[in-house]
Chains A and B, each alone.
Chain A
């Protein structure tokens, strides 16, 4: 069965650069979530979309933005990267508000 696909799996950026993370939810899933997980931390909610509209917002920095496109894939755009942005970024999708399926994550390293 198709799972949530995230790309790239690994990304290395320098400080002050920009990064774009992509998420392809499971087909027909209507909600996408983004999470950030720092080293030794629990996943922290960033933002979610339901039917291409932002539905909830968590601790997402102003330097970050996200959107969901007509094909339901989502992108997390991160600008003016800081060392503290180094983390695992997970995307998840759900349908009909049931269980969430998470991708394998993108490991972002800012140097």
Chain B
């Protein structure tokens, strides 16, 4: 499995933008970049995913480097409810392939 590298922790102030980086230098051409987050005592929650182009949805934006070796999850205005562990996951298009949760980034949001 291709590996990802994320900072162990980050801190943000409420209502400020947050940029969560992820390095994936060994990404293959068929790997999608997925982001999930896990709030305390809850199951992981899908945030966003993309292949090559930047993506936006109601929760966040995903900026993907041109060489695809890194990506950044952008929360435009952090709220206290965004405090969670954020996981950057590479996943091939193959059916049934599992999601590998590596050490993610623990985001703290300060009021």
Which A residues have a C-beta under 8 Å from some C-beta of B? Answer: 4, 30-31, 33, 35, 42-45, 48-50, 55-56, 58, 90, 92, 97-105
- A33 CB to nearest B CB, Å: 6
Measured CA separation A43–B38 after assembly (Å):
10
B58 at the interface (CB under 8 A from A): no
Contact of A100 among B94, B95, B99, B104 (CB under 8 A): B99
Binds A, one of B16-24, B40-48, B63-71: B40-48
The answer to whether B97 and A56 have CB atoms under 8 Å apart is: yes
Measured CA separation A92–B36 after assembly (Å):
12
The answer to whether B102 and A48 have CB atoms under 8 Å apart is: no
The answer to whether B104 and A42 have CB atoms under 8 Å apart is: yes
Measured CA separation A90–B96 after assembly (Å):
16
Interface of B is mostly: loop
The answer to whether B43 and A56 have CB atoms under 8 Å apart is: no
Contact of B95 among A31, A43, A104 (CB under 8 A): A31
The answer to whether B98 and A90 have CB atoms under 8 Å apart is: no
The answer to whether B98 and A97 have CB atoms under 8 Å apart is: no
Q: Which residue of A lies closest to B94 (CB)?
A: A97
The answer to whether A31 and B96 have CB atoms under 8 Å apart is: yes
> Contacts A50-B95, A97-B93; is A102 near B43 (CB within 8 Å)?
yes
B7 at the interface (CB under 8 A from A): no
The answer to whether B103 and A102 have CB atoms under 8 Å apart is: no
Contacts of A49 in B (CB 8 A): 96
The answer to whether B96 and A55 have CB atoms under 8 Å apart is: yes
